[in-house]
Amino acid sequence: MAAIRQLPSGKWNVQIRIAGRRPVSSTHLTREKAQAWAKSHEQNHPNQNLDSPQRGRPKINTIAKLAPDYLKEVMTISGKQRGGYEAIMYKLNTLSRYFDNVPIDGITSEAVAGYRSERMGSVAGSTVRLEMQLLSRLLRWAKAEKGIKCEDVVQPVKLPPPGKPREKIIEPLEYKMLLDVISPRIKPIVMLAYETAMRRGEILSVRPNMVNFRLRVIHLTETKNGESRDVPLSSMALSLLKELCDGKDGNQLLFPYVDYTVSQAFRRAAKRIKLSDVCFHSLRHTAITRYAEKGLNTIQLQCISGHKSIGMLARYSHLKASSVADLMG
C-alpha cells in the first residue's frame, strides 16, 4: 500500500513499504504525479507487496534515463547531430524535471494535462505545444523501439494552439543599427543570416571546406530535416565568406559558438536599439521576404530557404501588397 504525504516544501512524497526490504520512496511536484507513480509501480511489480520480498531493484524507465538513447537514435544521423538537436535536448530536460522519477509507462493523460496547465503559467502556449508533441513522439518511440509497454497518453489531451507566426520584418535601417551595436564576433553571423536566410544552427556548422566559391554555394550537411542541401550565396555573402575562410583550416568551424550565445547577443543588440518583437530567427524571415520582393519565384525561394512545402515558405515570406503591385507593373 502506498503512503502519500505532503512535505513542508509543498512537494508530495510517496512511500511503498515492502517486506524484507527498505521502503521505495519518490518525491513529486503534485499529488497527482505521486499517485501516478505509485499506481505504475504497483502495477509493474505486483509481487512486491507487504508479504513478498523484493528480489531485485526494478529498472525504472524515466524520461531522463531514456533521453540519451532518444537523442542518439532519433536526433543523430551517421554520427552527426540533426538540426534542432540542442532544442530537443533542452525540451527533454524540461520534461524530465517535471515528471522527475515517474516511469514513462506511468505517465497519465491527467498528468500531461497538469503539465500543460503548469507550464502555460510561465511560457508561451506554442512552447508548451512543442514540448507535448515531443513527449508524444518519445512515448511512441519507447513503445516501438524499446519494447516498453506505454501508450501515447498525450494524444487525448488538448494541445495549446500554435503560436501566431512572427510578422515583424527587420527594415534596412534597423538592420544597419543592429550591425552597429552587436558584438563584433557575432556580427558576421548576423550578416550571413540576413544574406542567405540560413538558420542559426546551419550557420554555426559552416566550415571552409563546405563553401564552393566557384559555384557560389554552401553545401550544408546538417539541416533541420536531416537532409543536406546547397545554399546559394549573394555577392555580399560570398565576399564575407572569403574573408572569414582566409587562413583557416578546411575543417575548422568558422563560428565556434553555441546557439544560446548567438541568440543572447542578438537580443541584447535589439534591446539597445529598442527593437521589439524580433529574435535571431527574424533574420531568416527578413531574408526570404527581401528576395520575394525582388521578384524571385517560389522554386527559387525554396532553393534559398530549404523549405519542403509552399505552405511553410508562405509563413516565412511577408510580402506587402504594395511590393507585389510594383512587380505587376
Q: SS3 of 195, please? A: helix
Contacts of 156 (CB under 8 A, 6+ apart): 109
β-strands 80-81, 76-77 pairing: antiparallel
Q: What is the DSSP string of 78-122?
A: TTEEPTTHHHHHHHHHHHHHHHTT--GGG--HHHHHHHHHHHHTT
Q: Cell numbers 527559387 correspond to what residue?
A: 300
Q: What angle do CA 234, 275, 295 make, to 5 degrees?
A: 30
Would you say 59 and 102 are in contact if contact means Cβ atoms under 8 Å apart? no
Active site residue 219: no
Strand partners, 229: 220
- What does the block give as the cell for 26? 519518490
Q: What are phi and psi of 220, to 5 degrees?
A: -90, 130
Question: How many residues are listed for the chain in this entry?
Answer: 329
Which of 33, 200, 285, 307 is an active site residue? 307
Which of 41, 199, 285, 318 is an active site residue? 199
- The span from the CA of 22 to the CA of 48, in Å, is 12
- The span from the CA of 146 to the CA of 140, in Å, is 10
Would you say 230 and 218 are in contact if contact means Cβ atoms under 8 Å apart? yes
Q: What are phi and psi of 5, to 5 degrees?
A: -145, 155
Active site residue 318: no
Active site residue 80: no
161-177 burial by CB neighbour count: b if 16+ within 10 A, else e? eeeeeeeebbeeebbeb
Would you say 229 and 149 are in contact if contact means Cβ atoms under 8 Å apart? no
Which of 17, 143, 281, 315 is an active site residue? 281
Give the DSSP H/E element, type plus range, for residue 181.
helix 172-181
- The span from the CA of 286 to the CA of 173, in Å, is 13
Which of 116, 284, 285, 290 is an active site residue? 284
Which of 187, 224, 229, 315 is an active site residue? 224
Active site residue 316: yes
Active site residue 129: no
Which residues are catalytic, by number? Answer: 199, 224, 281, 284, 307, 316
